[in-house]
A and B are shown apart, each in its own frame.
Chain A
């Protein structure tokens, strides 16, 4: 890597029902971020959006978002996937030497749609899966949950506890849309099954929201912040579309993406070198699958890990922020995980603060049961 790239700042907003428009949210996030950093739109060299036409209900969904983002007459583009991929693109733009700063804008207003699950449903094969009507985002998550439990012989108590941990953490976090104080596995078990063994409280809430993040080259980082957070590594991968050909109890593409990210960051032993992880587990049962693929514990090691060691005060906290069970603004979720990691690395995470925060791994997903995954390693 020729030049280091840092995150200089971010602004995020997520809630279950924001009374706002996409333009106004975009303006608020970007104007707010510029004000925080003492700059204006002219400081920004390039802008990368992450929005999705199916969510926004309009074609070329960022067409009216350029001016409110301050991108008027600027070089901008759009990555139509989770926003963590927009970060990867922006990183490459800065690394090319053509740009010194890049603004990321990712958002969605779920309130526009009848259901956020339609987002994944529209990725389904129109000539087959959509005709059969058996598969949707939730039934797929149910399948994945069952696959995981059967593979390792766990009981549902484990996934109830995972959900409870996230909901407890989310309750402490002012940036989350939903949380449950002192949630226990028992509380989670009270919630109804959506697709057994997947329960309502295992599942992310429909969320409106978005974020703006500013990346800068190392030459510029000093003028904007005392606490730059460096992008040390990144990787991305994709696996087969056909659920029947995947082992849903593992996440092969997350493992590949993580290997690429760790290699770039010079990390050979993630269990020891990574201090905490922010993972886009949209469903509680997905979390141990993703964390195992991130190399944070061995296959089948979930029960031990969730025996107390990966909570906020543990040795390898997972989703100290509360993760997507607290908010899932589609397209922005991976960047929300990033922002939460930035908070930790800066020591600004308040009640969610973990003890040791120098190296973090951040994960984002796209597709049914995380068919495609992106991993970023951050450090102080």
Chain B
């Protein structure tokens, strides 16, 4: 099977709450131009494109149609991918298969979100709008965030069930979630593209933020950001012709379980903290990447954490540490940028969340670490292999990508 690598990365100049100075296609084109500029490539070098975002957040159906002229897509095959939070990595995976299949050689991935143009609560609640309406019509008392919010996937209430279950079963306490959030906000201060930065964040400052729905505090929650991310993937042969350095993809996997919402209309059959799809996808990706002991072989991890407890939870489910050990690594300082097992040096999703890009940024950030181009948030240890994790749906989609600094030997 063909080796596929990432040969270029581009971001919009900032990821912020509101980009008032550009419309959607203009914003996306910034990231596309940035990518072409810093790789020295041009549209003629790209055979096909993959485009991803969650379009209910802006109210524009299939915005790749509108953006096509602005991102040099005319005349090219363009595929639109949308899988909720994991969209960005699902798009990378689609591009991977475009190349691994032999059908294309150089594929550009373009993801974005401009949530300021829509109503994010509508977008999030929209996952279960019919169920919510049915409950209201059935006369169920859904006032109070634990009723209403709990039903809406992705907003604080439903995630609170996951966080609470995680704490109960791992032995971690809410103070660990505070500490994890603080660590990521401090990392974000070193990342020019991050949204919520706080160089002085500590577990104590995070603990001062209000409790939204136990155990989720305001300080644990991701922002909504406007931004776009672009990456160029290429086959080994083409990569050699086009660039000097490549971040290689060694194994990818995805898994979907049932939608663990806990709404009254559909009982949940899985613990939202168990994350079977994460365990399955991780094993599959490790197998394809020839990794037998991820704890030893993976140098760096980027985790999709819309909520701070998820970094700890997914570290365990990805097999990067034993169940119940993640908070101990946090306490020991192992997860810091200069630590033994650095995680989310970028600040993670909890610091920057333009939904369509969030899972993709986990891959691009791993790539930057491998290429030594992460600037101020470059980790201290050498990164030979990195693990990018994406998460989406109603707590049930997990995508995993393993990257390395050399092509995989067959």
Contacts and interface: CB of A to CB of B under 8 A. Distances in A.
Interface string A72-91: 11111111110001001101
B394 A63 contact: yes
Interface residues of A, number: 60
Nearest to B90: A77
A256 B75 contact: yes
B127 A238 contact: no
B392 A60 contact: yes
Interface in B51-72: 54-56, 59-69
B79 interface: yes
Given A73-B277, A240-B68, A81 B79 contact: yes
B61 A2 contact: no
Interface string B85-105: 000001001100110111100
B101 A60 contact: no
A238 B75 contact: yes
Given A60-B82, A63-B394, A81-B62, A260 B127 contact: no
A244 interface: no
Contact of A59 (B61, B65, B81, B84): B84
Interface in B321-376: none
Interface stretch (B183-191, B255-263, B303-311): B255-263
B1 A57 contact: no
A98 interface: yes
B259 A85 contact: no
Contacts of B256: 66, 71-76
Contacts of A239: 68, 74-75
Given A59-B54, A123-B65, A79 B81 contact: yes
A77 B94 contact: yes
B284 interface: yes
B257 A73 contact: yes
B100 A96 contact: yes
A380 interface: no
B76 interface: yes
B393 interface: yes
Interface residues of B, number: 64
Nearest to B128: A58
A1 B103 CA distance: 8
Contacts of A126: 59-60, 117
Contact of B62 (A72, A94, A96, A123): A123
B278 to A, nearest CB: 11
A50 to B, nearest CB: 10
B212 interface: no
A332 B392 CA distance: 24
Contacts of B64: 238
B68 A89 contact: no
Nearest to B73: A238
B1 A96 contact: yes
Given A66-B256, A89-B79, A241 B69 contact: yes
Interface string A360-372: 0000001110011
A193 interface: no
A95 B1 CA distance: 9
Contacts of A52: 61-62
Contacts of B254: 75-77
A235 interface: yes
B102 A123 contact: no
A119 interface: yes
Given A1-B102, A76-B256, A97-B1, A89 B129 contact: no
B93 A77 contact: yes
Given A53-B56, A54-B56, A119-B61, A78 B81 contact: yes
A92 to B, nearest CB: 4
A60 B73 contact: no
Given A59-B124, A78-B81, A123-B66, A92 B98 contact: yes
Nearest to A88: B79
A350 interface: no
Contacts of A236: 77-79
A125 interface: yes
A127 interface: yes
B130 interface: yes
B276 A235 contact: no
Contacts of B126: 53, 57-59
A368 B281 CA distance: 38
Contact of A53 (B23, B82, B257): B82
Interface centre among B83, B101, B253 (most CB of A within 10 A): B101
Given A58-B129, A123-B65, A63 B103 contact: no
Contacts of A120: 61
A67 B277 CA distance: 13
Contact of A60 (B61, B94, B117, B127): B127
Contacts of A74: 255-256
B396 interface: yes
Interface in B190-209: none
Contacts of B276: 73
Nearest to B86: A77
Interface centre among A2, A127, A368, A372 (most CB of B within 10 A): A372
Contacts of B73: 238
7 contacts: A60-B393, A72-B258, A73-B277, A88-B79, A92-B101, A96-B101, A123-B61
Interface of B: 1, 23, 54-56, 59-69, 73-84, 90, 93-94, 97-98, 100-103, 117, 123-124, 126-130, 153, 253-259, 266, 276-277, 280-281, 284, 288, 392-394, 396
Give the 8 A-B CB pairs with smallest separation, nearest first: A95-B101, A122-B61, A59-B126, A236-B77, A92-B101, A60-B84, A96-B100, A80-B82
Given A78-B83, A239-B74, 19 more contacts: A1-B102, A59-B54, A59-B127, A60-B54, A66-B258, A74-B256, A77-B93, A80-B62, A89-B79, A92-B100, A96-B97, A96-B100, A122-B60, A126-B59, A238-B65, A241-B67, A253-B75, A367-B65, A372-B78
Interface of A: 1-2, 52-54, 57-60, 62-64, 66-67, 71-81, 85, 88-89, 91-98, 119-120, 122-123, 125-127, 235-242, 253, 256-257, 260, 366-368, 371-372
